[in-house]
Amino acid sequence: MSSSPPTPPAAPALLPRSEEELARLPASERIRYRLLDARCRHHANDNISAFVREGELDELKAEVQAKAQELLHALVIDTDSDHNTHGTAERLARMYIDEVFGGRYRPMPTVTEFPNAERLNELMIVGPITVRSACSHHLCPILGKVWVGLLPNEHSNLIGLSKYARICDWIMSRPQIQEEAVMMLANELQERVRPDGLAIVMEADHFCMHWRGVKDDESAMVNSVMRGAFLKDANLRREFLSLLARKQS
């Protein structure tokens, strides 16, 4: 008789800390303590904005700047006399926290939703939406396009066209791998719009292939998520993909 795998032990409880004790820690440690105390995952592509308090992002940037300066020092770059790298550590910190990884630290952008008053139920396609991310493995850029197909129903919420781009940017502005990023985008749109069918296609260049490793400039990655009617109805799926092909030609 086969036996069930053993249940993994629960994570040990953290020792409680007072606000005074937490205040003496670096911002990164305070944020990490709150995450661990809530037993909340904080992988590279997770949003942790709920655990960041006012003013802590500025402290976090100062920490990242100091660590980036150590990295440059370890690379034997004389940032004191090299005018090109004199402010590089500070620029890196601002870029990571405010821009390229900003989707980790800022909350979901406000998205106004409207009821489907006219009971629209025809295929809608939004795209190509330009997306920018970075691979989790090497922190090299990922640059690409996303297309979203929707089949709404009378109970769906409708959102403005620009909001699709804002949601994409929020999810992609984190260290990602493309396969997971597309699934995260699909989950967010499914929950917000509640369509009968949802289709997403992403095509992107990965600079971890272009810039390093095999240094192949021609390769791109394309992947898709099909849900609901797009998964069940081959004609609907074919219509969506054919319209994408026409748009790209």
Q: Where in the chain is the domain with CATH 3.30.1130.10?
A: 114-248
197, 227 in Cβ contact below 8 A? yes
Q: Which backbone phi and psi does 76 adopt, to 5 degrees?
A: 60, 50
CATH 1.10.286.10: does it fit domain 19-105?
A: yes
pLDDT for the residue 116: 75
112, 95 in Cβ contact below 8 A? no
pLDDT for the residue 219: 82
Residue 225: DSSP 8-state: E
Mean pLDDT of 112-127: 81
Mean pLDDT of 215-228: 88
Mean pLDDT of 109-119: 79
- Average pLDDT along the chain: 89
Mean pLDDT of 169-189: 95
- CA 132/CA 117 separation, integer angstroms: 34
Mean pLDDT of 220-235: 93
- CA 122/CA 241 separation, integer angstroms: 15
pLDDT for the residue 30: 93
Q: Where in the chain is the domain with CATH 1.10.286.10?
A: 19-105
SS3 at position 137: coil
pLDDT in tens, 50-108: 999 999 999 999 999 999 999 999 999 999 999 999 999 999 999 999 999 999 999 99
Mean pLDDT of 188-217: 89
- Provide the pLDDT confidence category of residue 183 given band limits of 50, 70 and 90: very high
Question: Does residue 1 surpass a pLDDT of 50?
Answer: no
- Judged by average pLDDT, the poorest of 14-18, 36-40, 226-230 is 14-18
208 CB-near residues (< 8 Å, 6+ apart): 135, 137, 138, 140
Question: Does residue 4 surpass a pLDDT of 70?
Answer: no
Question: Does residue 24 surpass a pLDDT of 90?
Answer: no
230 CB-near residues (< 8 Å, 6+ apart): 149, 151, 197, 198, 199, 236, 237, 240
Identify the residue whose tokens are 């937490």: 22
Q: Dig out the tokens for 11 from the structure.
A: 């994570």
Task: Tell me what percent of the residues of the chain surpass a pLDDT of 90.
Answer: 69
CATH 3.30.1130.10: does it fit domain 114-248?
A: yes
Reported pTM: 0.86
Question: Does residue 11 surpass a pLDDT of 70?
Answer: no
